[in-house]
A and B are shown apart, each in its own frame.
Chain A
């Protein structure tokens, strides 16, 4: 807890399975997700494609579905899962991943490390 990089985000009990929540911590907006396998992910809420708010998206098999163009981002790795898996190579390499942050659960809170990419 003494590590200044770790930020307290949300009470662990306030994030239910399958829920997507946006929190504001020290002026920074973070998307928190609890996947059905129990994994908690902290990520940027901004779609890397065209800046849509991902917190309005739904979860599909461990990925968040952007409500605008339905791009899928893997919430374990941040990788674009779709359309990266079907695009021609020259276009696929241009698809930016979703930024994820290291996360931990401690003392009943969800914490994330703001300045480090996962």
Chain B
């Protein structure tokens, strides 16, 4: 814990316990999403699914990066991760991104089932956008470090939504693919552990 780092946040008027709760929930959502996106990436096969695989992988690795960036901040503020991973999943701030029923049994996504897969992905990103918008608004002008980390994550979640939204035919994202999988152009500066 950073004693002064914690004190300055408290003195800014932020409810620290509430902030830590939000950060743990966000970290939980990233961790569970990384898990579920692994399953969704595995399911992205066949003529239509293969085209999605690399983008799911970018989002999956970047969600893991978001977890990595959030954890130090939780501990700096005097918080901690739940001791039991089951408890961690239960407090995750977004719902589980389950494999759609239409893709059970190793079916190749196509037509309606491809749309089901994309809807799970895009809605998970939209949930993340709401989550980090909330944290940004909660910390703006009061806790610059948490704000900067959350804003960096929000930037990437917005890009992820745009990628999947583009696949759904909702309009162009204006983006191009990452140079390497899960490059995290916004969050990388906050990842103090080596991420390759």
Contacts and interface: CB of A to CB of B under 8 A. Distances in A.
Is B truly associated with A? Answer: yes
Interface of A: 58, 60, 65, 67-71, 82-83, 85-89, 91
B100 A86 contact: yes
Contacts of B124: 86
Contact of B93 (A69, A85, A87, A91): A69
Contacts of A60: 130
Contacts of B19: none
B71 interface: no
A85 B130 contact: no
B81 interface: no
B95 interface: yes
Contact of A67 (B97, B120, B134): B134
B86 to A, nearest CB: 16
B123 A83 contact: yes
Interface in B52-110: 92-98, 100-101
Contacts of B94: 69-70
Judged by DSSP, the binding face of A is loop
B155 interface: no
Interface of B: 25, 92-98, 100-101, 116, 119-120, 123-124, 126-127, 130-131, 133-134
Given A82-B127, A87-B95, 5 more contacts: A58-B133, A58-B134, A60-B130, A71-B95, A88-B100
A58 B138 CA distance: 13
Nearest to A81: B123
Contacts, number: 45
Those 8 A-B pairs whose CB atoms lie nearest each other, nearest first: A83-B95, A70-B127, A86-B120, A88-B101, A86-B123, A70-B130, A65-B130, A70-B94
B95 A69 contact: yes
A49 to B, nearest CB: 9
B93 A70 contact: yes
A84 B39 CA distance: 20
B123 A85 contact: yes
Nearest to A82: B123
Nearest to B128: A70
Given A68-B93, A70-B93, A70-B127, A86 B134 contact: no
B128 to A, nearest CB: 9
A88 B100 CA distance: 6
16 contacts: A58-B130, A58-B134, A60-B130, A68-B25, A68-B93, A69-B93, A69-B95, A70-B94, A70-B95, A70-B130, A70-B131, A83-B123, A86-B95, A86-B98, A86-B100, A91-B98
